[in-house]
Structure 1
């Protein structure tokens, strides 16, 4: 059972006024500094002293001095108040201009494909932003993980996230080295894969990712097996280039190797497609300038 409680109000009320009077040793000069009336300063000090239960100033017609309690309060409250002011300015900076730590959760395969061309130019353009790339294929909770945003394939992003497109839609292509295809032959239909060495991907949840293909307006899952299971696409691609077997990877990851003749696409007519890669974030509050700067910078290079 919850206990009744009250929230403390006004813990900092009068502190700024106290510090101004302690600095000037004069109520009128403190009032001028704060742009308020001397009576307002006197009322604020009386209220603070009443709340603390101790006199903070010794007042005469000619001077204002600190009591012992006032000196102790000044020794502790002065630095603490300066820290609060500095904290407010730091938070204001983050909210008004690109600065601070920008943490992104990104699949390993996306780093060389999408981020490497962007990282150097972004860091040069925004030197006050510290960019941290957490490369992992594990789906993470952005809030609990302390991330500003994540990057994932569109089909894996929750519906309550704000998604920003980074790439056009693309297909998942099955590729093999010319040497492998010469030795084992080129599959002409999905069922032919049962007789091929198929390199597979193990997802972060422990499951082995199935191979998917288009079947009319839908997709069909193919049952495949082979000599190698890896945890990332670059490893699968490297194994395929060495002739170990066929690999199914996002087309943009394999494009360079296909252009160089190191890999040959097969079953292209039934290749399954994906909506593309998106940056996503909760978006429940205004997007901080550091994240907005990254999004705009990425789009400017696309």
Structure 2
């Protein structure tokens, strides 16, 4: 049977008033410190004493003293209340400026595409933020595992998450090394993959992912076979470079290997487009400044990179 639980209200009511009176041994000075009336302080202390069930002060017309119960309550309550105030200040600072521990869950394939180019500049720009990156291909529960955000391919992000685009869409390309292709026919149709060693990815749910293509207006899933099953794209890419077989990987991580001819791209007309890479986090009313700073920094870096790649026009032209 489900039990009913209630939160006790007012557990700290009157504690601040009590501590101020106990320090000053004076109700008027306590009232001035807390910017309230002496009668309000007296009422707060009486309510606290009634809730506790013991008198905390001895009062005369000339002085205020602590009872034995008051002395013991003061000895325990003062450090606890000061610690509570300190905790509130720390939480307020984290909520108002970029500071604290920022934990991100990131698949290894994303590291060279998005994070490696900007980690140093982010750490220099925000020295009060500790950036912790956990490289894992697993789709973790961000809240349960204590992460502020994750980074994943867009089609892997749950619908109840807030997603922020980090890259434009890109194709999933099939690549192979020249050594592997030397004595083999380069595949020109999806059906040709049956004659090739295809390196495959195991999903976080345990299934082996088929290779996906587009043919006309239809998306096709090709069941391929090969000598290697990996849990991340960098492993597949490295194996393809070494000649173990063909791999289907996100185009950004294969770009440099294609450019320097360690890999050759094929089946381009059938390449399926991934929605791109997104940062995602649980829906909240307010994004903490440390996470907002990270998002804004990535966008600034992307904007700077785009302007560096943009060709310069002639002076005087718009």
Tell me if TM exceeds 0.5: yes
User: What TM-score, normalized by structure 2, do the two folds share?
Assistant: 0.91
Partner of 2:77: 77
Distance, in Å, in 1 between the alignment partners of 2:284 and 2:27 is: 45
Displacement, 1:184?
1.1
Distance, in Å, in 1 between the alignment partners of 2:212 and 2:39 is: 78
Distance, in Å, in 2 between the alignment partners of 1:220 and 1:186 is: 20
Q: Does 1:260 align with 2:260?
A: yes
Displacement, 1:191?
0.8
Distance, in Å, in 2 between the alignment partners of 1:2 and 1:179 is: 66
Tell me the secondary structure at the aligned position of residue 292 of structure 1.
helix
Structure 1 pair 6/157, CA: closer, same or farther in 2 (3 Å)? Answer: closer
Structure 1 pair 293/5, CA: closer, same or farther in 2 (3 Å)? Answer: closer
- Spell out, residue by residue over 1:1-37, the C-alpha distance to the aligned partner (whole angstroms, 9 max, x if none): 4456654222111110111111111111111111111
Distance, in Å, in 1 between the alignment partners of 2:187 and 2:4 is: 72
Structure 1 pair 5/124, CA: closer, same or farther in 2 (3 Å)? Answer: closer
Displacement, 1:62?
2.1
Partner of 1:202: 202
Partner of 2:238: 238
Instruction: Map 1:14-93 onto structure 2 (within 5 A).
Output: 14-93=14-93
Distance, in Å, in 2 between the alignment partners of 1:268 and 1:4 is: 61
- Spell out, residue by residue over 1:209-234, the C-alpha distance to the aligned partner (whole angstroms, 9 max, x if none): 11111111221111211122222111
Tell me the secondary structure at the aligned position of residue 116 of structure 2.
helix
- Spell out, residue by residue over 1:164-203, the C-alpha distance to the aligned partner (whole angstroms, 9 max, x if none): 1000000011111112222212111111111111111122
Partner of 2:112: 112
Structure 1 moving runs of 4+ over 3 Å:
1-7
Structure 1 pair 83/225, CA: closer, same or farther in 2 (3 Å)? Answer: same
Instruction: Map 1:93-242 onto structure 2 (within 5 A).
Output: 93-242=93-242
RMSD: 1.4
- Spell out, residue by residue over 1:87-142, the C-alpha distance to the aligned partner (whole angstroms, 9 max, x if none): 11111112111111111111111112211112221111111112121211111222
User: What TM-score, normalized by structure 1, do the two folds share?
Assistant: 0.96
Structure 1 unpaired stretches of 5+: none
Tell me the secondary structure at the aligned position of residue 200 of structure 2.
strand
Size of the aligned set, in residue pairs, is 302
Structure 2 unpaired stretches of 5+: 303-318
Q: Does 1:280 align with 2:280?
A: yes
Say which is worse superposed, 262-271 or 139-148, in terms of deviation: 139-148
Q: Is the 8 A contact 2:173 2:250 kept in 1?
A: yes
Tell me the secondary structure at the aligned position of residue 105 of structure 2.
strand
Q: Is the 8 A contact 2:160 2:283 kept in 1?
A: no
Tell me the secondary structure at the aligned position of residue 261 of structure 2.
coil
